Amino acid sequence: MGEAMRDEGDTTVRTDGTGAPLSGERELTVELVLGRRYLGRHALRGQRLRVGRGPDCHVRVDHASVSREHVELYRQGPIVAFRDLESTNGCHLNGRPAPQGVVAAGDVLRFGECIGIVRERTALEDGEPFGELAPGLFGGAALRAVLSSLRAAARSDIPIMLVGATGCGKERVAQAIHQFSERSGRFHALNCATLPTTLAEAELFGCQRGAFTGADRARTGHLRAAHLGTLFLDEVAELPLAVQGKLLRALEEHVVIPLGDTESVEANARIVVATQEPLGEAVARKTFRSDLFARLAGFRIDLPLLRNRRAEIPGLFFHFLDRYAPGATFRIEARLVERLCLHEWPGNVRELELFTRKLLALHGNEPVLRGNFGRECLEGANGSTVPTASEPPASKAASRRDHDLTKLRAALAGNNGNMSAAARSAGISRRRAYRLLDPDRNGRT
């Protein structure tokens, strides 16, 4: 692409990072992101889709880094192809320079400071590309499709089972179900993986003072705490077998008998459970009761991994920036957004949130959040720190955390986000694994 071929009237400002392409076999959509906002979605059907700064383009991107006619996407039989229109800053497909090529769902196009993310079209294309879908739950088309099937089920009493890897947002979705249900009681969450085996029964069903050694006061119990509301049992497969039978009775009769008592107490809670693997596998291993499984398996929802909903990654990143750096005016390089979209995120949304906090801690005072900052923070998350002889004990403790977190992240990637398998593979307890991924919420590691 020589200078002799360039339009003399093109006033595009050259950048050191540029555009990218898209791909598809089925009906595809490209979602465009510029700076800290979505520009909208555009269907990739039969027509050609020319993108640029000029008035004759099908999609106008008003930014100095984008040429007047920058890139064109078009159907070529069953596929979607693209070609760079001799732009100043070129195109990148999935992080690599590409003057032309074919795009598919999940591909990331970068041209100038604009990002295009290709995804398959869903049945629900109305609404904003990204936004708050329920109180505290943010997402785009992929998550909106999940929630659409939940709204009707939420207003019934049928139990709902959420299946998804660690960090996928199961608790946020459970809270949305509670909102949709319009039940008068509260939303109450319990992570069964952190429930001490010896106290599980008292924690779930309550107890009277003196019911056992150490019971210095009466406890309501989680089921009664969610009376007329929603009880969310995360990692339900980790419930001790000894209490599963009593839980089944409580769910069927809507009553509990606290430890140390002989009288039943009403506990009418709507149950939403979550697991990282299908409960049928735990039933086959005889670590979960088949009758309780049958009672809980009313309506199953599989939550997609973050890497399988790339179009939502920029929006989540911007949301976390607004949460942890409200009012900040820094500019965001397209290469940073591109890098985030292409990352595998074994810890899913939780990992993206922690990445954002780390990025702000290191570079929050910079005027521009650059692409290499992303590489630095992501690589730092996967590398351990080796303590020196002069390091104080606190640094050595931090090094141990980094070391364990490194092993855990690698194990999560190798076990498709399954926390149980990853913790076993990394040689750490599940409780420590949760604390490593979310230290602020779960306490010290």
Give the CATH fold of the 3-120 domain.
Tumour Suppressor Smad4 (2.60.200)
Q: Which residues pair with 75 in a beta bridge?
A: 80
Instruction: Give the tens place of pLDDT for each residue, 249-275.
Output: 888 888 887 766 667 778 888 899 999
The CATH classification number of 309-382 equals: 1.10.8.60
Lowest mean pLDDT among 33-47, 207-221, 382-396: 382-396
User: For residues 97 and 241, what is the distance between their CA atoms, to the nearest angstrom?
Assistant: 55
> What was the pLDDT predicted at 163?
93
Our CA angle for 209, 215, 216, nearest 5°, is 70
For residues 321 and 366, give the distance between their C-alpha atoms in angstroms, rounded to a whole number: 13
> Cβ-count burial of 71 within 10 angstroms (0-12 exposed, 13-18 middle, 19+ buried)?
buried
DSSP 6-60: S-TT--PPP-SS-----B-SSSEEEEEEETTEEEEEEEESSS-EEEESSTTSSEE
Average the pLDDT over 234-240 and give the result.
Answer: 91
Q: Hey, which bits of 349-424 come out as E strands?
A: 368-369
Parse the chain into domains and list their residue ranges.
Answer: 3-120, 141-302, 309-382, 393-442
Alpha carbon distance 161, 377 (integer Å): 35
What is the tens place of the pLDDT at every residue in 65-94? 999 999 999 988 778 999 999 999 999 999
Question: In 71-121, which ranges are continuous DSSP H helix?
Answer: none
**3-class state of residue 360 by DSSP:** helix
**pLDDT band of 44, cuts 50, 70, 90:** confident
Do 309-382 and 3-120 fall under one CATH topology? Answer: no
Distances (CA, A) of 294 to 151, 163, 202, 252, 299: 22, 15, 24, 12, 11
- Residue 261, pLDDT score: 66
- Domain over 141-302 is classified CATH 1.10.287.3510: no
